[in-house]
Amino acid sequence: MSVPVASSVPVASASPAGAGRSIERPRVLSGVQPTGALHLGNWLGAIRNWVALQSDHDTFFCVVDLHAITVPHQPERLAEDTLSTAALYLACGIDPQKATIFVQSHVSAHSELCWLLNCVTPLNWLERMIQFKEKAVKQGADVSAGLLDYPVLMAADILLYDADRVPVGEDQKQHLELARDIAQQRINARFASRDSAGQPIPILKVPQPLILKEGARVMSLTDGRSKMSKSDPNEGSRITLLDPAELITRKIKRAKTDPQMGLEFGNPERPEADNLLGLYALLAGRSREAAAAECGSMGWGSFKPLLAEATVAALAPLQARYHELRADPQHLGEVLSQGRERASAVAEATLERVRQALGFLASS
Ligand code: AMP
Ligand code: TRP
């Protein structure tokens, strides 16, 4: 089966950042790691926003499998997790006719640009990354160089596509800043050539983060002060997008509460109330004001079944689409191979600009 992709989207040429684009739709790039099942935080903090962007932006969404091996991984799971993450993108509403969906390791320019950027990125910029420090503690003595280098690979992902905007959750903001600094201070400022008027011609586009407030930080069900995460050993701390209805209900039933009646936002003493009420608003499609009014005098015993019902109802159509997609592996394969072609064309052009700016001998 042939899959129509966004053929009207032009490919950037080997010219200064952005100059090869004939349509002025802002470019968007984002990605999620195929490490374990995606959860409500990934959906509400990231992927949900991608869906809203795809109609009026030129969108690229990748499954960042090279990032997934920066901590010890299971080789027998990697391909399956990559496919299931791609299927979840589609099930969440990413449309291959509008967006380019691809696997990071299928486009070798990501690794190559990462190397070039590595050689201009100061080590101490990486050593101060919060996510590195947090993850490194968990790895003990076995921290890989790849884990330290993770944000440079992420910068390569973004900069290869001349992305204008990068929709991510709040935890990725520092990595976005780093990508901006590398592009601006370490590549453009050092290697740009000048036009006839003496103005520098930028080599890489400097991206902007795009962090929507609501959903940007979904917290754990078992601790309202730490974020919902794929790596939390307690599965009860997160609801994954593929959890069956009974499991969702059970996890919500066991979620941490406090002794107070009434759900409310913004009370620093009640992080669980804030988090679960926020989830309810997003999943039931209510404004925060409406959710606060509806649940303001409810006890936990009445609120939890309501939240469970809203969660199950919000995930049901997504789960049905996911299972349909997994039943047709050929279709998914086509989506990813056409995505790879489109992504490679854009990425190779950018990589060539950087190679030339750094002074490499042309290969033919
Ligand atoms: P990861 O699971 O670390 O690969 O994250 C993929 C995307 O989901 C990134 O844009 C994250 O910022 C976002 N994300 C991850 N966990 C959460 C969370 N608990 N709340 C909101 N966004 C999240
Ligand atoms: N580091 C991101 C995360 O864990 C995933 C990621 C890798 C990404 N490359 C990216 C996100 C490029 C946005 C753009 O969430």
Say whether pLDDT at 6 is over 60: no
Write out the catalytic residue numbers.
Answer: 135, 227, 230
Q: What's residue 126's pLDDT? A: 98
Q: Is 104 in the pocket of ligand 2 (CB under 6 A)?
A: no
Tell whether ligand 2 has an atom less than 6 A from the beta carbon of residue 67.
yes
Residue 125: pLDDT over 50: yes
Q: What are the helix (H) ranges across the chain?
A: 40-42, 48-53, 65-68, 75-91, 109-118, 123-127, 130-139, 145-159, 173-181, 189-191, 245-254, 271-284, 288-295, 300-326, 329-358
**Ligand 1 mean position, distance from CA 9 (Å):** 28
| The ligand 1 atom nearest the CA atom of 167 | 10
Q: Is the whole model's pTM more than 0.75, yes or no?
A: yes
Q: Taking 50 as the threshold, does the pLDDT of residue 3 lie above it?
A: no
Average pLDDT, the chain: 92
In ligand 2, which atom is closest to the CA atom of 67?
A: 7
- pLDDT category of residue 155 using cuts at 50, 70 and 90: very high
325 pLDDT tier (thresholds 50, 70, 90) = very high
Residue 67 CA: nearest ligand 1 atom is: 4
Mean pLDDT, residues 182-209: 95
- pLDDT (mean) for 3-17: 43
Is the CB of 31 within 6 Å of ligand 2?
Answer: yes
What span, in angstroms and rounded, lies between the C-alpha atoms of 303 and 313? Answer: 15
Span 244-260, average pLDDT: 97
Q: Does ligand 2 lie within 6 Å of residue 100's CB atom?
A: no
Q: Place 17 in a pLDDT band, splitting at 50, 70 and 90.
A: low
According to the model, what pLDDT value does residue 5 have? 42
Tell which one of 27, 32, 149 to mutate to probe ligand 2, the residue whose CB is within 8 A of the most ligand atoms. 32
Amino acid letter at 42? N
The torsion angle over the Cα atoms of residues 23, 24, 28 and 29, rounded to 10 degrees, is 50
Confidence of residue 4 (pLDDT cuts 50, 70, 90): very low
Residue 239 near residue 312, CB atoms below 8 Å: no
Closest atom of ligand 1 relative to the 33 alpha carbon: 4
As a whole number of angstroms, the distance between CA 217 and CA 227 comes to 7
pLDDT of residue 213: 75
- Cβ partners under 8 Å of residue 2, min gap 6: 334
pLDDT at 281 over 70: yes
Longest dimension (CA), the chain: 72
Q: What is the mean pLDDT of residues 239-258?
A: 98
Distance 314 CA to ligand 2 centre (A): 25
Q: Above 60 in pLDDT, residue 7?
A: no
CA distance linking residue 17 with residue 277, whole number of Å: 43
Question: Please, what sign has the CA dihedral across residues 82, 88, 91, 95?
Answer: negative
CA dist., res. 123 & res. 152, Å (int): 11
The DSSP call for residue 219 is: B
Contact criterion met (CB below 8 Å) for 303 and 263: yes
Backbone angles phi, psi at 131, to 5 degrees: -65, -35
Question: Rounded to whole angstroms, how far apart are CA atoms 73 and 34?
Answer: 10
Lowest mean pLDDT among 69-73, 140-144, 232-236: 140-144
Whether 2 has a pLDDT exceeding 70, the answer reads: no
Average pLDDT over residues 342-362: 97
Contact 358, 120 (CB under 8 A): no
Residue 36: per-residue pLDDT? 80
Q: Whose alpha carbon is nearest atom 14 of ligand 2? A: 30
